[in-house]
Amino acid sequence: MPERFRPLVEATTELAERFTAAGHTLYLVGGSVRDALMDPGGRTGGGDDSFDFDLTTDARPDVIEVLVAGWADAVWTQGKRFGTIGARNGGRRYEITTHRAEAYRPDSRKPEVSFGDDIEIDLARRDFTVNAMALSLPGLTLVDPFDGLTDLAAGRLRTPLEPDVSFGDDPLRMLRAARFIAAYGLKPDAALVEAVERGHHRLEIVSAERIRDELDKLVMVATPSVGLWFVVDSGLAAEFLPELPGLALEQDPVHRHKDVLGHTLAVVDKTSPDRLLRLAALFHDVGKPRTRAFGPAGVTFHHHEVVGARMTRERMEALRYPRADIDTVVTLVELHLRFHTYRLGWTDKAVRRYVRDAGDLLDELNELTRCDCTTRNAAKAKALGRRMDELEARIAELRQRESLEAIRPELDGSAVMARLDLPPGPLVGQALSFLLELRMDEGPLGAEEAGRRLDRWWAARGAGADRPGREPSKDPG
């Protein structure tokens, strides 16, 4: 037995024996087979499998459920009507599916599933030939009716059936192709590319949630730009992320601004493989096409971060991202230019505001700012890096003197109401805002000094003439 297959055998032997004893076949399929064949180290490149082991069998779902009982620590049956039973054993997760064929009706988002007994028919309905290979268990015979092993060795991405048929079964496979191109260095054959160019509109029947999940997987590969270029060039992006091809602004030979799309994809590649950070990199300049203007000083994109933040929220909502994800990415997009507004130096006040506005996203914002520099001018890149180093040093220095992450007014609402003899209401909020600005401008003053400043602010407002429940003073004249 090849050493690379030993972990697969050890993890599935007991399960395979149960199926064999019951008169059923069991095969390992999908990513675990592909990765064992292409990478002896056991590393995966695409993060495409939700389960550690993907298996297929001629046993029907009810039988699968019976066979894993007593062996599995836990069992999931949410996918049972589609032929899938999930199980966990010893910390490993297994997904066992009855041989099947599934296809989408042209007007439906849901697959029609029929069960079968033939492994080759099942493999024919897989997405790509490199995933249409199976290892019989426990005998370890490779079943490869569509030359997936050859394609893997040649670095080629093909579909088992004609690509129009495979993509018709599940149009999301067109987007998945982008991830496989990027993650595994596979080159799509001409028929696959033409099928995507011809049929990308079919993505409209796929749920936003499935598209979102596939996009998340794509941005997490080592070099997402390879797949993102395919998404744009094939026309696929227009179906779910039209802002991306919209960044391909025509370069003006007079004003000589950079191609925004190329810049954006370069920034995505530079960032750490953090899902939300990479989404922020993907969206950070989406407001540029709407704000581009030409003037005496050249091309400008004034307030593109504000416009871009709004566009980002709209697109992520359309893709059904969780609210917390949306808020994180929108905040990073909105703040990604903040660093550049402090060209004249970082005062304590500026540092406090930067840290407060970034909140828990300070490290991600700083990384996005650094990665946003894609200039080939070494001197400019070095200068930006030096300024970023200076800012981070100023943050560290100020943190030694005060708690930047917990900046708040030095008097709370109760203290304000007692000192100014105010009931709850808008005036208390205004007083707290004044105190917060005071804290941001001058740092910690102490409650006593903050109270004196509050008194002076209140007196300057007219000694409370407009406080609720009191009659305004009358003009003695």
What pLDDT was estimated at residue 395? 83
Distance CA 410, CA 59 (A): 68
Do strands 26-29 and 53-57 pair parallel, antiparallel, or not at all (unpaired)? Answer: antiparallel
- Contact, 168 vs 202, CB < 8 A? yes
pLDDT of residue 300: 74
Q: Which of 153-167, 277-291, 293-307 shows the lowest per-residue confidence on average (mean pLDDT)?
A: 293-307
Give the helix/strand (H/E) hosting 76: strand 74-76
pLDDT bin (cut points 50, 70, 90) of residue 173 is: very high
Nearest-5° Cα angle at 178, 335 to 208: 65
Looking at the predicted structure, is the pLDDT value of residue 216 above 90? yes
Predicted local distance difference test score (pLDDT) of residue 90 = 87
Q: What average pLDDT does the segment 350-365 reach?
A: 87
Residues in the chain, how many?
477
- In degrees and rounded to multiples of 5, residue 112 shows phi and psi of -95, 125
Amino acid at 461: R
Q: How many whole angstroms separate alpha carbon 477 and alpha carbon 473?
A: 12
User: 3-state SS string over 318-375?
Assistant: HCCCCHHHHHHHHHHHHHCCHHHHCCCCCCHHHHHHHHHHHHHHHHHHHHHHHHCCCC
Contact 249, 260 (CB under 8 A): yes
- pLDDT-derived band at 432 (thresholds 50, 70, 90) equals confident
User: For the packed helices 362-371 and 348-358, what is the interaxial angle rounded to 10 degrees?
Assistant: 100
pLDDT in tens, 187-207: 999 999 999 999 999 999 999
At the topology level of CATH, where does 1-152 sit?
A: Beta Polymerase; domain 2 (3.30.460)
Compute the C-alpha angle 434/357/424, nearest 5°: 35
- Residue 302: what residue type? H
pLDDT digits (tens, 9 = 90+) for 365-375: 999 999 998 87
Instruction: Average the pLDDT over each of 81-85, 139-143, 468-472 and give the range with the smallest value.
Output: 468-472
The CA distance from 39 to 184, in Å, is 11
Residue 342: Cβ-neighbour burial (10 angstroms; 0-12, 13-18, 19+): middle
| Residue 373, pLDDT score | 86
Peptide bond into 106 cis (omega under 30): no
At 44, list the tokens.
């995966």
- Which DSSP symbol is given to 117? S
Section 216-236 average pLDDT: 97
Tell me what the mean pLDDT of segment 25-52 comes to: 69
Report the alpha-carbon distance of residue 218 to residue 137 in Å, rounded.
Answer: 31
Q: What is the DSSP letter of 52?
A: S
Contacts of 1 (CB under 8 A, 6+ apart): 9, 140
**Sorting pLDDT into bands at 50, 70 and 90, what band is 252?**
very low
Cβ-contact 426, 461 below 8 angstroms: no
Least confident of 36-50, 266-280, 385-399: 36-50
pLDDT of 369? 92
Q: Residue 444 in contact with residue 451, Cβ under 8 Å?
A: no
Using 50, 70 and 90 to split pLDDT, how confident is the model at 299? confident
pTM reported for the whole predicted model: 0.80
Q: Name the token pair of 126.
A: 């897989």
> Quick one: pLDDT at residue 430?
85
Tell the burial category of 367 from Cβ atoms under 10 Å away from its Cβ (0-12, 13-18, 19+): buried
Token pair listed for 213: 């999940």
**pLDDT of 255 above 60:** no
Share of the chain above pLDDT 90, in %: 53
Domain 155-240, second-level architecture: Orthogonal Bundle (1.10)
**What pLDDT does 278 receive?**
98
Higher pLDDT among residues 312 and 252, named by residue: 312
